């Protein structure tokens, strides 16, 4: 009986750890998704007229301004997460980026983040939906920013049950070639 109780307790901790990883990845996916949509949107603008016919030029969103605000990263991540685009989420991290998940574990490097994210998104995080809010954006200088907020992930499947999870995040970002990359993501419950 005592052995069964210990096993049940151990399983509960494993499930909580997996849930924490899921939440962390959901936030990251949301950031990537937001970035993907911004870079793929186009705006038509009239650039010249010739003989009464207008000639339209398609201008990528990224060319309209020199840089987007730091909080667009989280919007892109949410969009990518909800579309299941884990590669896009991973691309939002700097090559030496760090993901700190609710269990306190740190996943270091883009390659490791990609591995864990792919595993989790194929499992209990499959078909989940991520939403978030941005609570604060600070920019210590032109090339660094900190974005803080909360998230909710719905549709987590654990042992045949569908769950939701909420928590907060802090994204430490760096600007590289007019693009905000996540250097450290801290996700908590």
Asked if 71 and 147 count as a contact pair (C-beta separation under 8 A), the reply is yes
Strand-pair partners of 60: 42
Tens digits of residue pLDDT in 1-29: 555 555 544 444 444 344 444 444 444 44
Q: For residues 100 and 110, what is the distance between their CA atoms, to the nearest angstrom?
A: 13
Tens digits of residue pLDDT in 47-106: 233 333 333 333 333 333 457 999 999 999 999 999 999 999 999 999 999 999 988 999
Sign of CA dihedral 82, 186, 152, 112: positive
Q: Which residues does 139 contact at the CB level (< 8 Å), separation at least 6?
A: 70, 145, 146
Asked if 107 and 98 count as a contact pair (C-beta separation under 8 A), the reply is yes
Residue with tokens 């990845």: 25
pTM, 2 dp: 0.66
What domains does the chain contain, in order, with CATH numbers?
A: 2-40+67-188 (3.10.450.50)
Tens digits of residue pLDDT in 105-136: 999 999 999 999 999 889 999 999 999 999 99
């Amino acid at each position: 009986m005592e052995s069964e109780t210990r096993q049940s307790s151990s399983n509960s901790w494993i499930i909580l750890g997996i849930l924490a990883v899921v939440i962390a990845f959901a936030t990251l996916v949301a950031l990537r998704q937001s970035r993907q949509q911004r870079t793929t949107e186009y705006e038509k603008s009239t650039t010249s007229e010739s003989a009464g016919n207008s000639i339209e030029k398609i201008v990528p969103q990224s060319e309209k301004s020199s840089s987007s605000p730091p909080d667009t990263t989280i919007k892109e991540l949410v969009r990518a997460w909800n579309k299941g685009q884990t590669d896009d989420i991973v691309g939002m991290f700097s090559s030496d980026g760090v993901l700190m998940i609710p269990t306190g574990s740190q996943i270091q490097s883009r390659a490791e983040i990609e591995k864990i994210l792919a595993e989790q998104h194929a499992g209990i995080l499959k078909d989940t939906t991520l939403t978030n809010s941005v609570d604060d954006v600070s920019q210590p200088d032109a090339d660094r920013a900190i974005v803080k907020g909360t998230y909710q992930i719905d549709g987590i499947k654990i042992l045949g049950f569908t769950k939701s999870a909420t928590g907060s995040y802090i994204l430490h970002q760096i600007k590289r070639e007019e693009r905000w990359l996540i250097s450290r993501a801290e996700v908590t419950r």
